[in-house]
A = this chain, B = another copy of it.
Amino acid sequence: MIPASSTVAIVGATGAVGREALAILQQRNHPPANIRAVASERSAGGTINYGGTHLPIHTLSVAAFEGVNISIFCTGAELSARWAREALNAGSHVIDNSSAFRLDPGVPLVIPEINGDLARSAGPPRLIANPNCSTILLLTALEPLRQRFGISRAVVSTYQAVSGAGAPAIDELLSQTRAVLEGHTPRPAVFHTPCAFNVFSHDSAVDPLSGVNGEERKMIDESAKIWRDTSIPITPTCIRVPVVRAHSASVALTLCSPASEADLFHALHAGKGLSIIDDRSENHFPTPLQAVGGDVVLVGRIRLDPSMPMHHHGQSRHVCLWLCGDQLRKGAALNALQIADLLHAIA
């Protein structure tokens, strides 16, 4: 855990991920005196509520990092690229939520349940990157199976909440839904496609050559780096659904060695950072609504692929599952703070 005596800067404190990071620190009773809320000049002079204390908002500057032990950057890639090194130079560890450093060979990309060893350090200030939300949720759910059986391929289709596109996207979903219910035609603004009562391919840019969008590319590249294995093919299709918060994914896996259904449940039960909801008789499986506000990835629909050949004794290398997770918590702020915990494990 981050010692109560450490000063933690939340950079981008007024954004969705920044607010979630503050909420988690407050739940952990981290003292308000040791929280530094940092934001762009737009929010300068204001305050932000932290469990009843009104924290002043510091403008992003070198001075903002004075005396800070850990900086959690909840900013976009441009601001992170410009300011993360400044924070490091000021003597602060940096955990960056943006994509700026994720594929930098010199910067560890960490999900504590998988490669937390890369974050443990008693040395000088470290820069560590936090993976993309969908990648964190997927890899956290798969890790117990990867450890036990190995993974030789994953086909993934996501059902992503609009909140991944920021607070204006949530406003758009709610106001557009209201308009549609009142009989009006939806007017897209944040997304270029109507989001109310609709589903659409992820809004990240699509590579003209490969047809792969940015979100899918992140899942492929970041998984390879986190797994330290570029040989495991991931086939992602990233889709937005009219859900406010929490992402879901349907996953068809090929394992390296065969598993029975009981083996799968056993491995997942013993896994870290996840929880199983899988009641076939009640048709009760994870939903994004259930995942909202939770710290774990919910996993269900755990089954052998009914169409692929079985090995002996009801074992198969082909298995399926369904997962839901709060992309602002485990998918972003919580994972970043868990990395911060590791930095201090031997500090």
Residues on A close to B: CB < 8 A? 155, 157, 159, 173-174, 177-178, 181, 192-194, 197-201, 203, 205-208, 210-213, 216-217, 220, 233-235, 237, 239, 241-244, 248, 250, 252, 261, 280-285, 287-289, 300-308, 318, 320, 322, 324
Oligomer copy total: 2
Q: What is the predominant secondary structure among interface residues of chain A facing chain B? A: mixed
Contacts of A302 in B (CB 8 A): 211
A181: B residues at CB distance < 8 A: 174, 177-178, 181
Q: A159-B199, A206-B280 are in contact. List 14 more A-B contacts (CB 8 A).
A: A173-B197, A177-B181, A198-B288, A198-B289, A199-B324, A201-B285, A206-B283, A210-B303, A211-B280, A212-B306, A234-B307, A237-B250, A250-B250, A252-B252
Q: In whole angstroms, how far apart are the Cα atoms of A66 and B122 in the complex?
A: 88
CB contact under 8 A between A252 and B239, given known A159-B159, A203-B283: no
B283 touches A322 (CB 8 A): no
8 of the cross-chain contacts (CB-CB < 8 Å) are A159-B159, A173-B197, A193-B287, A197-B243, A198-B289, A199-B241, A220-B306, A233-B307
Contact present for A280 and B207 (CB under 8 Å): yes
Residues of B within 8 A of A208 (CB): 280-281
